[in-house]
Amino acid sequence: MVDVLDVGEAHVQALVSPEATGQRFLLSAGWISWKEALFILHDRPVAGISVPPVKEHTATSKVTSYCSAEKGKEVLGIKYRPKADTIYETVQGAVEGGWTL
């Protein structure tokens, strides 16, 4: 998962950073499950939607990743936005845009 604002920042940094010339970057702030997204929306409700109940708040899911996004952090200096902010702002924007959830 990656916030579109982070993608935009990575593009700008790739354009202005000599170290980025000719390189490709994988961007990822990490993985999040739908269940974790529901917990975020329970903690930070968005007006206009109702979030289904979830039984228990457990630790984040463990996912093995075979790709690394460290290069983007190291070369471009990307600092990813918190996943909770991305989830909340995405749903809030969808509701403001007329989506019904």
Q: Is the pLDDT of residue 31 over 90?
A: no
Q: Is 61 helix (H, G, I), strand (E, B) or coil?
A: coil
Contact 65, 31 (CB under 8 A): yes
Q: What is the pLDDT of residues 11-23, one digit of tens each?
A: 999 999 999 999 9
| pLDDT of 43 | 92
pLDDT tens-digit profile of 80-99? 999 999 999 999 999 999 98
Q: Which amino acid is at 98?
A: G
- Nearest one of 51, 58, 41 to 101, comparing CA atoms: 51
Question: What is the mean predicted confidence (pLDDT) over 33-58?
Answer: 86
Q: Which residues contact 66 (CB under 8 A, 6 or more apart)?
A: none
Decide which of 87 and 34 is more confident. Answer: 87
Token pair 């075979």 is found at 66
pLDDT tens, residue by residue, 48-78: 888 888 877 665 566 666 788 999 999 999 9
